[in-house]
Amino acid sequence: MTLATIDEQWMRLALQRARDALYRSDPNPRVGCVIVRDGLILGEGATQVPGGPHAEIGAVQNAQERGFDVRGATAYVTLEPCSHVGRTPPCADALVASGIARVVAAMEDPNPLVAGRGFARLQAAGIATKCGLLVDEARELNIGFVSRMTRGRPWVRMKLAASLDGQSALTNGKSQWITGEAARQDGHAWRARASALLTGIGTVRLDDPRLDVRGIGDIDHPARQPWRVLVDSRFEVPLDARIVRNIAEDRRLLVVGAVDDGRRRETLADAGCETLVLANDTGKVDLVALIAELGRREVNELHVEAGSKLNGSLLRAGCVDELLLYVAPTLLGPGMPMIELPAIDDLSGRLGLTYYDVCRIGDDLRIRARFVR
């Protein structure tokens, strides 16, 4: 095999390790590292929970635990080793100290605090570097982190479920369950990888969702519970709503309104909610400002599960990057739409998307479509 083929083989393994961090590393990127010498894996690592070891340090420690000296070895890492002090020391320094001879990275770190500085530090220490191997796969794994670092806002994914004729609920509002169990469980996996889950007061009134992650992970590695965000212009969410009643240290709730009602905000604060007022000129929640605020709060991926009105408002405001649509092989006839959008007079006014991924989940079809910008 050529060196390029060998490098790709080990980088694919590093990407597998990065996927191990899918449900735990947030807000840090999901990174995997594999250290190899003469075709032998010396150590492997993946980013741990914030404050824990990054992938490179974990791989070096894993090699040491297995009795291997990594001097002269090659480290395959899915993201440029960091060069700044954050919650942990710089990974570039740890690789230099370990005696690694070569570092192959999938992509440069989009974080302005790094952005090439990690490579520069390695090169200054005489370590050979290579970057750009399987970059598309690495970027996709960290699409939210890349979005936050380059655009200052999270990657917004809107989850929808509908019948084959496009209905998300019956005319009486009933929607449980249009799709099957496999699709619902898959939906929880997408919830689990998100930094925050967003819904609206209409959905809370109609469905009373818990909006948490269930059935993902295990006892030893439970899935992180994303932060919940509720768009509620007048802070009218009932205190006995499940989204309020299940507030805990790992189940925070931010209620975002447009009317600064001190009494209601104080009542919600007493119940454990955080509140925020972000109003636009029409007296509704400023959704663009909300998305920017979530970016400032280190939200990488925002997962939306809302009703047709809020879905439409988010789309009209240009806040959504991707649709995650589950289509059931059923016909419901008249019902409630997935998204409320104004009528257009010409096809030139349509919102264009491109299919990113289409697959079958149980009896249902899962479509991932991204907006053409």
Per-residue pLDDT tens for 68-94? 999 999 999 999 998 765 666 788 888
Give pLDDT tens digits for 310-327: 999 999 999 999 999 999
Task: Tell me if residue 274 is catalytic.
Answer: no
Q: pLDDT by residue (tens digit) across 227-284?
A: 999 999 999 999 999 999 988 777 899 999 999 988 999 999 999 999 999 999 999 9
Q: Which residues lie below 8 Å from residue 118, measured CB to CB, with a gap of 6+?
A: 80, 81, 82, 83, 90, 91, 92, 109
Give, rounded to a whole angstrom, the gap between the first and last alpha carbons of the chain. Answer: 41
The answer, yes or no, to whether residue 221 has pLDDT greater than 80, is: no
Closest CA to 191 of 20, 22, 6: 22
Note whether 216 and 192 are within 8 A (CB).
yes
Which residue is catalytic, options 8, 44, 56, 266?
Answer: 56
User: Residues near 146 by Cβ (< 8 Å), separated by ≥ 6?
Assistant: 110, 139, 155
